[in-house]
């Protein structure tokens, strides 16, 4: 019996060992890759509503490894999921909540679901991902409170533009690797934790648009590598701490919209790197430090709605020592400020080449009269202009009538072929006959636009299948092979904010390009009709950013690179959700990367053409930058590029001149469309205007690249999207 019991016990032990071994082997075979896969599928289930085609590919039956699913990045060696960032598509939004299953992605380093419509609370499992370095959930509708502790390796934390509440946890001070902390536009309250001052690597601190109280902790000034600090639009109070001079890299400082009292710290004037300073809408008093006004490189200084005075020591003799600047500098001390002398006496230097102090004046302030004209002169100019315009119109009608005279030939009848680019499938065949039939033989009733390169027609190729037909009104500038090569190059350009070229037809008697159809009209129509409906700052900003990205792609990523040469509102199309698309670059000259400019006939539109382009016919990517700057100015103002109201200022006065004039006189607010100044953050509006002014500088070398402009506009992105 004893032997049998021993035998039974041994068998049981062996069975348990084998079972444990099999279970371990089974777990090993299903982990960690199966663990990642199942976590992604659970994550999808929580987000499936409204996800469209993007997350539809997250499916086991697709036969595609989860590391190849859209938005999923895996480590090359371990094949573990290390980053989640769903691809961005115009108008695309998710819905639902983040699943706690995200916590099973134990190797995750980056989680980015920016502005995709997430709701609910951030799962606690996110905060225990020890390898997490980037967490970007900005622009959603997340609610709840922040945790007491965070992953210590966190480098970027962006939760701006949500509905988070409660206090900012002192535990953030333990994230010693943190470089960017963005918690703006939430409902956070309490004081700013002094522990943030322990973040020695912090470069960006944005806490604006909350309900924070108390003062600015002096410990914040221990973050010596700070480049941007934005504490605006809170309920902060008390005196500003001294010690800002230690922040030698600080370029952007905004403390506006609080209740700070006392004097402006004198050491702020020692920040030679500072470019943007906004202390407006506080209760500051005393004299504005002289050094603050004289900071080199500073482009914007806003001090309005305080109780400040300007020292009388700032005189005209000081102006020549002021440096030349790339963008137009602006110092805005509002009419409520007690000035020791009239603002126009403070500086007498050139308004473009030197730094100056500006004051907001009432609309009735008399002008300097330097650019005005008498009634007789205006009448004479108007009459002469009318005669010249009539002659030009008559000449153009004559040319157009000759250009459109049909010249039939046997060859033209034989070449009725439409070239369709690879991977283009609109659900209906694109042939010469279907295009002609769909446009009613290019009937005027189907014309939806008439640009410099020719009219555009709406064509319904099949029921519900719409395309846009650009009928070229110009002759070929090259031989057949060269022209086909250029068109094929344009057809290879694919960007979310470029109108897609689907195909083309070229023969001796007819040329047209086929694009995808966008139902929202163009930006020119949008600008004209925005008085009929409220337009948000978010929408205006998005249009600008979309176009900037398209131009940056054309200039930097296309091979050979492409110059547009006619950037204007009429060539910017919108869909029903106001996503913007750049169009009408059918005649854009193509440049090799080694070339910096080309000499050609001026192809742009007056008011948008860069000065050097109009005068010398030499075009570069900086000419597009200038035109884009003019579009930015039109987008945020109620003036056109060559507005009729500018006629009293003389020849050559345009929207760029008007912007500089208002900035010079401290009346920046008057530039923006009615109501925009009251709805959007002043810092963002002024910086947006500053970007436009930089783009429209007369000096070609001083204008930024479109890549830089797109980056600047992205940094200004409103947190609501």
CB < 8 Å & 24+ apart, contacts of 595-599: 596/620, 598/563
Q: What is the 3-state secondary structure (H, E, C) of 658-700?
A: HHHHHHHCCCHHHHCCCCHHHHCCHHHHHHHHHHHHHHCCCCC
10 Å CB burial of residue 349 (0-12, 13-18, 19+) is middle
Give the Cβ contact number of residue 31 at 10 Å. 13
- Distance, in Å, from the CA atom of 169 to the CA atom of 153, rounded to the nearest integer, reads 17
**Does residue 425 carry a catalytic annotation?**
no
Token match 């108008």: residue? 91
431 beta partners: none
C-alpha to C-alpha distance for 546 and 90, rounded to whole angstroms: 9
3 vs 245: CA distance, rounded Å: 87
- Tell me the three state secondary structure of residue 134: strand
**Are 199 and 174 contacting, i.e. CB atoms less than 8 angstroms apart?**
no
The owner of tokens 């348990």 is 16
Which tokens is 481 given? 């092979």
Place of tokens 């008011």: 607
Q: Which helix (H) or strand (E) holds 578?
A: none
Residue 613: closest CA among 308, 291, 622, 156: 622
- The set of residues, in sequence order, having a beta carbon less than 8 Å from that of 94 and lying 6+ positions away, is 47, 49, 50, 51, 55, 86, 113, 116, 117, 118
Residue 239: count of CB within 10 angstroms of its CB: 13
Look at the alpha carbons of 107, 111, 117, 118 in this order and tell me if their dihedral is positive or negative: positive
Residue position matching structure tokens 């470089």: 179
Backbone angles phi, psi at 450, to 5 degrees: -140, 95
Residue 518 has a CB neighbour count (10 Å cut-off) of 20
Token pair for residue 246? 């230690």
C-alpha to C-alpha distance for 628 and 635, rounded to whole angstroms: 10
What tokens appear for 679 in the block? 């709805």
Check residue 310 and report its DSSP letter: E
| Pairwise CA distance, residues 359 & 314, whole Å | 14
Task: Name the CA dihedral angle for 161, 167, 168, 173, rounded to a multiple of 10 degrees.
Answer: -170
Distance CA 108, CA 130 (A): 8
Closest listed residue to residue 354, CA positions, set 664, 635, 626: 664
- Percent helix, strand and coil across the chain, each to the nearest 5: 35, 15, 45
Exactly one of 230, 304, 546, 566 is catalytic; which is it? Answer: 566
Biggest distance spanned by C-alpha atoms of the chain: 130
Please say whether the beta carbons of 260 and 240 come within 8 A.
yes
Task: Read off the tokens for 716.
Answer: 């200004």
* Residue 329, token pair as written in the block: 């500098």
Question: How many C-beta atoms lie closer than 10 Å to residue 114's C-beta?
Answer: 19
Residues classed as catalytic: 566
């Amino acid at each position: 019996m004893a032997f049998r019991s021993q035998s039974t016990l041994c068998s049981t032990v062996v069975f348990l060992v084998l079972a444990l071994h099999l279970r371990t082997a089974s777990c090993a075979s299903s982990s960690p890759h199966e663990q990642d896969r199942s976590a992604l599928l659970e994550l999808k289930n929580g987000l499936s509503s409204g996800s469209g085609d993007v997350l539809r590919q997250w499916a086991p039956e697709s036969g595609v490894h989860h590391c190849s699913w859209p938005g999923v990045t895996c480590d090359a060696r371990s094949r573990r999921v290390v980053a989640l960032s769903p691809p961005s598509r115009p108008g695309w939004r998710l819905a639902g909540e983040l699943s706690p299953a995200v916590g099973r992605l134990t190797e995750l380093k980056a989680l980015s679901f920016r502005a995709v419509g997430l709701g609910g609370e951030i799962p606690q499992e996110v905060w225990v991902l020890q390898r997490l370095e980037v967490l970007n959930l900005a622009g959603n509708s997340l609610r709840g409170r922040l945790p007491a502790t965070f992953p210590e390796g966190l480098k970027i934390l962006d939760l701006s533009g949500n509905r988070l509440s409660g206090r900012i946890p002192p535990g953030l001070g333990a994230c010693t690797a943190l470089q960017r902390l963005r918690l703006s536009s939430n409902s956070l309250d309490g004081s700013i934790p002094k522990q943030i001052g322990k973040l020695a690597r912090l470069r960006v601190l944005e806490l604006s648009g909350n309900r924070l109280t108390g003062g600015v902790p002096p410990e914040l000034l221990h973050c010596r590598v700070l480049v941007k600090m934005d504490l605006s639009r809170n309920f902060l109070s008390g005196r500003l701490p001294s010690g800002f001079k230690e922040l030698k890299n600080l370029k952007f400082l905004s403390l506006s919209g609080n209740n700070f009292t006392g004097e402006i710290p004198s050491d702020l004037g020692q920040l030679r790197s500072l470019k943007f300073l906004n202390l407006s809408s506080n209760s500051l008093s005393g004299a504005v430090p002289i050094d603050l006004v004289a900071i080199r490189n500073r482009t914007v200084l806003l001090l309005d709605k305080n109780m400040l005075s300007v020292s009388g020591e700032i005189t005209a003799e000081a102006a020549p020592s002021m440096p030349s600047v790339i963008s137009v500098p602006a110092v805005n001390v509002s009419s409520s400020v007690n000035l020791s002398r009239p603002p126009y006496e403070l500086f007498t230097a050139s308004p473009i080449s030197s730094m100056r102090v500006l004051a907001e004046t009432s609309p009735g302030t008399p002008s300097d009269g330097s650019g005005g004209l008498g009634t007789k002169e205006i009448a004479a100019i108007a009459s002469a202009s009318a005669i010249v315009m009539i002659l030009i119109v008559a000449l153009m009608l004559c040319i157009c009538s000759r250009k459109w005279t049909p010249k039939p030939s046997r060859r033209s009848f034989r070449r009725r072929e439409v070239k369709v680019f690879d991977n283009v499938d609109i659900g209906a065949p694109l042939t010469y006959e279907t295009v002609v039939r769909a446009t009613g033989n290019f009937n005027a009733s189907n014309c939806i636009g008439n640009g410099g390169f020719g009219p555009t027609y709406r064509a319904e190729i099949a029921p519900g299948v719409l395309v846009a037909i650009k009928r070229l009104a110009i002759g070929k500038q090259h031989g057949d092979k060269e022209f086909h090569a250029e068109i094929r190059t344009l057809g290879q350009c694919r960007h979310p904010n470029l109108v897609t070229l689907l195909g083309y037809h070229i023969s001796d008697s007819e040329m047209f390009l086929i694009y995808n159809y966008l139902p929202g009209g163009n930006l020119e129509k949008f600008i004209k009709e925005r008085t009929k409906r409220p337009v948000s700052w978010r929408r205006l900003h998005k249009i600008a950013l979309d176009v900037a990205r398209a131009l940056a792609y054309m200039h930097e990523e296309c091979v050979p690179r492409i110059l547009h040469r006619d950037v204007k509102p009429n060539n910017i199309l919108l869909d029903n959700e106001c996503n913007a698309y750049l169009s009408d670059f059918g005649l854009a000259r193509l440049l090799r990367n080694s070339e910096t400019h080309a000499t050609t006939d001026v192809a742009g539109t007056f008011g948008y053409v860069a000065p050097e382009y109009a005068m010398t016919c030499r075009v570069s990517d900086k000419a597009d930058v200038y035109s884009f700057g003019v579009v930015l100015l039109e987008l945020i103002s109620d003036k056109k590029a060559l507005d009729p109201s500018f006629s009293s200022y003389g020849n050559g006065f345009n929207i760029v001149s008007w912007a500089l004039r208002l900035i010079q006189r401290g009346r920046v607010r008057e530039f923006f469309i009615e109501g925009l100044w009251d709805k959007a953050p002043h810092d963002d509006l002024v910086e947006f205007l500053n970007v436009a002014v930089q783009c429209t500088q007369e000096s070609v070398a001083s204008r930024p690249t479109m890549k830089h402009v797109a980056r600047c506009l992205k940094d200004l992105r409103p947190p609501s999207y």
